[in-house]
Structure 1
Amino acid sequence: MAGRQNRNQDLDPFTSPRTFFGSELRRAREAAGLSQDQLGERVFCSGTYIGQFESATRRPQPDLSKLLDDVLDTGEHFQRLCELARKSKHADYFADAAELETRAKTISEYAPMLVPGLLQTEAYARALSSAAQRFESREVVEALVQARLERQAILADSTAPLLWIVLHEAVLRVRVGGAQAMAEQLMHLVEMVGTNRRVLIQVLPFDAGADAFLNGTTIHMTFTDAPAVTYVESAYTGQLIEEPAVVAQYQRAYDLARAASLSPEASLSLIESAAKDFATQ
């Protein structure tokens, strides 16, 4: 713990709102004579979790910031800093999950209707964002597209997570952006698997019947130095789940979906076939 706290002291608090939040948290905690573990007990989390905020590796959370203000008697100081530190290019409900993607050791995603953001082509992402934000300006749509494409940089990194995707067969049939855009998108999936050995895709076929995830996207992430988390999403909303028992339940359901899916080889053949169908339209 001492080593972790020493590293926190080396942070420049003026690098970003998040590092300032972490620096202020460490200052207030030490002024109160509390260790990270002791403060964690008072705000119902672990000392490791407190350390992640102090080291600016996790985005501050509104509910926790209020508890910190209450316990450390700091008025609304941390709540105001939290609001600044949580600004993101992504929708607020997804921002925490987007950040965790950059630290994940493995990412396991189930996609019931749409190609996951980490594997979308620009044309597919633009068509999808334009449809979802029908009443927003083109500038807003383009900002969303660029933010989505920037997320994909983690796949080219030397420490890229292992990305295991289960696509429902519906993903291959829902036309997003027209036939040409769909053909390009599906062939992009095939090419990604062929060129990146840390990307694996399976297709859950229509005849597999019902599964636990039909009603929404589910992303399960594991980490080297932190507990696993699950992110679930539907239209315009999402939730990051950290309760171990619930995360484990999602993991079991994901394993069942993976077991019911086609083999990776058969999945790629089906994706290629769907791409050719769109290419000839």
Structure 2
Amino acid sequence: MAHIQSLDPTASPLDYYGWELRRQREAHGLNQAQLGEIIFCTGSLVGQIETTRKVPTRDFSERVDAALGTDGLFSRLIGLVLRSQLPTWFQPYAEMEAKATYISTYQAQLVYGLVQTEEYARAVLDVEHRGNADEMVAARMERQRILLRHRPPALWVVLDEAALLREIGGRDVMRGQLARLLDYATAPWVQIQILPLTSGQHTGMMGTFNLLRFDTDPDLFYMDGYDQGHMTASPDVIKERSFGYARLQASALSPEDSVRLITRVMEERYATPHSTEQR
């Protein structure tokens, strides 16, 4: 069993969080059970987080800040902690994604992570990460916070129609996910286009990819692999993929027609039995 006394606060964001939590708790003269009672959790959970056996959540962090008067310390730390739970090879991309002012993405099979519901994300991540799905889902939800900023990045999503038809997590999960897409379709800085199956061959057939643009840094191209990601700022690649993305946008349905298609699929394919009976 790990002991908090042996934690090296410089080893990782999670180690620092646990070390700092214990330091702040003891400075306030509280034991684990007392702090747990104040923030409506068990003392055992506090102890598990202090010894890095459990990854904290944003809600836990905000409760600790309120209880200990730590001026948002743990609410700031939690972003680093959750980002550290992402696969090592994906973390550099996540850091750049958080700095981007414009994100363009083509998604071939799945809804883009930034606009996934928690239930959809859990169904996807549970396939390969069943042992730490909770941490992975929390990390994905944390990534989405960039869309809630005062000045969020502009996000343009071209989503293959196949992603609407592939039932992930069951009918209710899919209905909730498509409803989320419809919610984002009215957001001022988000555009969603569906690439219909009838479009045939297209410039995204190489697979899912993202383009990131920044205020001052060079543009970046990113493409997922099975256990690694490929990211480059090569001007030739950026030029080629930007042109390819423009062609994808031209081949896709308009945002308005995309809303109509999403609505139709949601109602016809993922309608609840009750709503079907009412027709």
Q: How would you bin the TM-score normalised by the shorter chain?
A: 0.5 to 0.7
2:100 to 90, 101, 104: 104
Q: Check whether the contact 1:167–1:201 (CA below 8 A) recurs between aligned residues.
A: yes
1:167 matched to 2:151 = no
Retained in 2: the 8 A contact 1:94–1:238?
A: yes
Residue from 250, 253, 261 that aligns with 1:262? 253
Give yes or no for contact 2:185–2:255 (8 Å, CA) kept in 1.
Answer: no
2: CA distance, partners of 1:113 / 1:203: 12
CA–CA distance in 1 between the matches of 2:84 and 2:230? 16
Structure 2: give runs of 5+ residues left out of the alignment: 1-8, 14-82, 274-279
Q: Distance in 1 between matches of 2:101 and 2:153?
A: 5
1:90 maps onto 2:90 in alignment: no
Distance (Å, rounded) in 1 between the aligned partners of 2:115 and 2:203? 23
Residue equivalent to 2:29 = none
Inter-partner Cα distance in structure 1 for 2:252 and 2:190: 16
Aligned residues of 2:100 and 2:214 also touching (Cα < 8 A) = yes
Letter in 1 for 2:263: E
1:222 alignment counterpart = 213
One-letter code aligned to 1:247: I
TM-score by length of 2: 0.66
CA shift, 1:223, in A, is 0.3
Residue identity opposite 1:171 in structure 2: A
Give, in whole Å, the separation in 1 of the partners of 2:86 and 2:141.
Answer: 12
Say whether 1:148 aligns with 2:109.
no
Check whether the contact 1:107–1:163 (CA below 8 A) recurs between aligned residues.
Answer: yes
Per-residue CA deviations over 1:218-248 (Å, capped at 9, x if unaligned) read 1100000111001101433321121111121
The 4+ residue runs of structure 1 with deviation greater than 3 A are 14-18
Please name the residue that 1:114 is paired with.
110
Gaps of 5+ in 1: 1-13, 19-86
Give 1:159 shift.
Answer: 1.5
Deviations 1:81-132 (A, max 9, x none): xxxxxx8221122211111111111000000000000000010000000113
State how far apart, in whole Å, the 2-side matches of 1:274 and 1:144 are: 28
Please list, as runs of the form range in 1=range in 2, the aligned pairs for 1:39-50 lying within 5 A after superposition. Answer: none
Alignment of 1:130-141 (within 5 A): 130-133=126-129, 136-137=130-131, 140-141=132-133
Per-residue CA deviation, residues 36-65 of structure 1 (Å, 9 max, x unaligned), is xxxxxxxxxxxxxxxxxxxxxxxxxxxxxx
Residue equivalent to 2:265: 274
Matches of 2:89 and 2:222 in 1, distance apart? 10
